[in-house]
């Protein structure tokens, strides 16, 4: 309806990467959800009559007016479709590709061992899980992963102690007979 009445308006959005059906895709999301920036002077009643419009942003009884310099600043950094660039954040992870991890937390797969592959988005991590003899990719929260540390050095006492105990039991039985 705003286009129909040729009222200048803007809905500022940003591109986000999400995981959809196992693939990373980009989607547009509003930066200011439920808000439309409208140059509505002299058209308050028309805008208020649009289905879905609740009201103008108010402080007390007064309608809030955003300075033109704020809108111009947003428009100068946005593209033609009012999409604002989002600064890329470096992806940092506690794990490296190929690290053995244990899934913990409220996950259905808690207690399962997996192999870390990479960070997808935010805290979502892709791991490979051994499922009936096949490696299956699984998306889990990185905070639900804990490293599995390989034992270092030789195991102490394993077989030798068991044999020694076994020999002691036999020698004790022989002396008792």
User: Could you state, in order of their start, the residue ranges of all structural domains in the chain?
Assistant: 9-84, 100-147
Do 147 and 101 touch, CB atoms closer than 8 A?
yes
d(Cα 11, Cα 9) in Å, to the nearest integer? 7
Flag whether pLDDT at 176 surpasses 50.
Answer: no
- N-terminal to C-terminal alpha carbon distance within the chain: 103
In this structure, of 86-90, 112-116, 152-156, 173-177, the range with the lowest mean pLDDT score is: 173-177
Determine contact, residues 121/19, Cβ cutoff 8 Å. Answer: yes
Cα 29 to Cα 9, 37, 66, 111, distances in angstroms: 17, 16, 22, 35
Q: Could you say which DSSP state residue 166 is in?
A: H
Beta strands in the chain (DSSP E): 9-10, 13-20, 23-30, 37-38, 58-59, 62-63, 83-84, 100-103, 113-119, 124-131, 134-141, 145-147
Cα–Cα distance for residue pair 47/39, rounded to 1 Å: 10
Q: Could you tell me the pLDDT band of residue 152, with boundaries at 50, 70 and 90?
A: low
- How far is it between the farthest Cα atoms of the chain? 112
- Whether the per-residue pLDDT at 120 is higher than 50: the answer is yes
Q: What is the mean pLDDT of residues 23-43?
A: 80
Residue 163: phi and psi, rounded to 5, are -65, -45
What would the mean pLDDT of 46-70 be, rounded to a whole number?
80
């Amino acid at each position: 309806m705003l286009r129909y009445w040729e009222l200048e308006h803007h809905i500022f959005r940003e591109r986000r990467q999400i995981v959809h059906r196992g693939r990373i895709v980009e989607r547009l999301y509003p930066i200011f959800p439920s808000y439309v920036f409208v140059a509505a002077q002299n058209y308050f009643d028309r805008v208020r009559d649009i289905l879905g419009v609740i009201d103008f942003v108010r402080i007390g009884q007064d309608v809030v007016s955003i300075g033109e310099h704020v809108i111009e600043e947003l428009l100068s950094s946005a593209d033609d479709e009012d999409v604002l660039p989002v600064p890329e954040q470096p992806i940092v992870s506690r794990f490296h590709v190929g690290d053995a991890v244990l899934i913990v937390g409220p996950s259905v797969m808690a207690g399962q061992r997996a192999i870390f592959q990479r960070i997808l988005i935010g805290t979502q991590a892709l791991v490979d899980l051994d499922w009936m003899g096949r490696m299956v990719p699984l998306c889990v929260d990185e905070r639900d992963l804990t490293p599995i540390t390989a034992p270092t050095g030789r195991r102490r006492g394993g077989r030798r102690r068991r044999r020694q105990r076994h020999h002691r039991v036999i020698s004790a039985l022989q002396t008792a007979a």
